[in-house]
Amino acid sequence: MRFSGLRVLKEGLTGNRGWTPHWRDPEPKSEYDIIIIGGGGHGLSTAYYLARTHGLRNIAVLEKGYIGGGNVGRNTTIVRANYFLPGNSEFYSHSLKLWEGLEQDLNYNVMHSQRGIINLFHSDGQRDAAARRGNAMINQGDDAVLLDRDGVRRFAPYLDFDNLRFPIYGGLYHKRGGTARHDAVAWGYARGADSRGVDLIQNCEVTGIDIEGGAVRGVQTTRGAIRAGKVGIVVAGRSSQVAAMAGMRLPVESHVLQAFVTEGLKPVIDQVITFGMGHFYISQSDKGGLVFGGDIDMYASYAARGNLPAVEHVMEAGMTLMPMIGKAKVLRSWGGIMDMTPDGSPVIDQTGIDGLFLNCGWNYGGFKAVPASGDCFAHLIATGRPHPTATGFRLDRFRTGHGILDEEGTGAQHNLH
Amino acid sequence: MRITCPICGERDRREFYYRGAALDRPDPETGQEAWGDYVYLRDNPAGRTRDLWYHEAGCGSWLVVERDTVSHSVLDVALALDADA
């Protein structure tokens, strides 16, 4: 079924009776060429690009819950390419380009909205850092504009520019950044993969990985054993547990990151705004809710819910930056489990076990990476070589110390990102 | 989340700085592999874990806290000096 304006009109006039499920609900077969463990955004996009770009068909995605029920449906939906380090920069640039063609490619409305992102700065030093970052973004071929106070004021007059402690000096404006509808991204990739023959198997938890003679042979699941010569692990939040099934320990510590949404309001925040002196970022959904978040809770957790100190910090940061949101009622908050790596950058690599591939460690930046992560992981699985934009995401960079990707510059150590 | 400091008593989590997993420090001569594992690789359990916390806004002690990463319950707290970490 193809979506089009004409189709929407026709269905609207005939009682919307012609819509069909977006994907099948197949029984697992006993063998596939490739198994992707994890039906989140990255797993679905991996399966999609394996089918679309590499023409592979005999693929299963195994999801322990349901499609769209994990972190892909629990984030603040921000899409950007404002990275600085070689190794990260080209990858996120590649991802943003894929985002820009995604709706046409998937024939699915993911509500990708390039409304712009403004990263505020509050001191001369931060202005210099923003200018440097902006130059790196432009060198990568992406866009960045350094705004002064009046430049920011034109976009966001409601900010507390003269806050005594954290006055706003300006902002780095990334025009092609924005947001997307997170659920639709999962659904669009799921539909695209399914229509190319990929079996999406939900409620199917992997309980073991079969390895013989240093090569992967398949997986054990709650729905029986499934054989495959190639297996990809893409299970952010649970990476350590699944990797342990293959006898691996990862450079990952799991942390909870909370996010919040308010009641629906009239349009008031047109861009994505981030605070430079506290961890706070905010945008307004098309439904009107203010969607915002902050930092991780800062201790290892699998609870998928946070504690109040982090909530308090986020609310304080929001009130410091834009006091006007003080009367908005918070409707919901939620927590997602993040794979935190020592340098804050991900891993897309082989594992040392033949046929077993690993995609993990997205920290709190996985959503914007969904297209490129899938594209690059599919490339690695299909060809055995890293994609040109993802050569830096090596698993061994911590052991060797070579190629550490510490974007924040805080040091490659757990608990610093 | 509240942590019972052996010196100060039960205190709010905000008084403490979280450092990470409480691990045995390898012998200085064990080589790069062991040190790489110690610095970077983690068991990262979903369940019981032991980690290091610093009572920053209290007595300044380093604590080994045994807790559950799924329920957030704190099971046991000992001074790192005494713990066999």
Q: What is the pLDDT of residue A363?
A: 95
- CB distance from A205 to chain B under 8 Å? no
Inter-chain contacts counted by CB atoms under 8 A, chains A and B: 72
* Region A139-155 average pLDDT: 98
Q: What is the pLDDT of residue A416?
A: 84
CA nearest neighbour of A67 among A185, A195, A212:
A185
Q: Which residues contact A194 (CB under 8 A, 6 or more apart)?
A: A22, A23, A24, A200
Q: What is the pLDDT of residue B84?
A: 60
SS (H, E, C) A103-167: HHHHCCCCCCECCCEEEEECCHHHHHHHHHHHHHHHHCCCCCEEEEHHHHHHHCCCCCCCCCCCC
- Contact at 8 Å (CB) between A167 and A161? yes
Instruction: Identify any residues that bridge with A281 across adjacent strands, giving them in sequence order.
Output: A274, A293
- CB distance from A19 to chain B under 8 Å? no
Residue A417 confidence class, pLDDT cut points 50, 70, 90: confident
Residues of A in contact with B45 (CB under 8 A): 240
Phi, psi (degrees; rounded to nearest 5) at A35: -115, 130
- CB distance from A285 to chain B under 8 Å? no
Residues of chain B with a CB closer than 8 angstroms to some CB in chain A: 1, 12-14, 18-21, 32-33, 36-37, 39-46, 49, 51, 69-72
Q: Which residues contact A258 (CB under 8 A, 6 or more apart)?
A: A293, A294, A297, A305, A306, A310, A311, A314, A333, A334, A335
A333 or A1, higher pLDDT: A333
Interchain proximity B70–A303, CB inside 8 Å: yes
The chain B residue lying nearest A252, using CA atoms, is: B42
Residue A140 confidence class, pLDDT cut points 50, 70, 90: very high
Residues of A in contact with B70 (CB under 8 A): 302-303
Interchain proximity B69–A254, CB inside 8 Å: yes
Separation between Cα atoms, residue A37 and residue A60, nearest integer Å:
8
CA nearest neighbour of A373 among A70, A28, A79:
A79
- Taking phi over 0 as left and psi of -120 to 50 as alpha, with beta for the rest, B68 belongs to beta
Is the per-residue pLDDT at A44 higher than 90? Answer: yes
CA nearest neighbour of A189 among A334, A46, A304, A364:
A46
Q: Nearest-CA distance from A269 to chain B in Å? A: 32
Q: What is the average pLDDT value for chain B, to the nearest integer?
A: 94
Residue B82 confidence class, pLDDT cut points 50, 70, 90: confident
Radius of gyration of chain B measured on its C-alpha atoms: 14
Place of tokens 């961890």: A279
Q: What is the pLDDT of residue B85?
A: 46
Quote the pTM value. 0.97
Interchain proximity B20–A309, CB inside 8 Å: no
Residues in chain A: 417
Angle between helices A41-52 and A182-195 (to 10 degrees): 30
Separation between Cα atoms, residue A42 and residue B33, nearest integer Å:
31
Token pair in block for residue A368: 């914007």
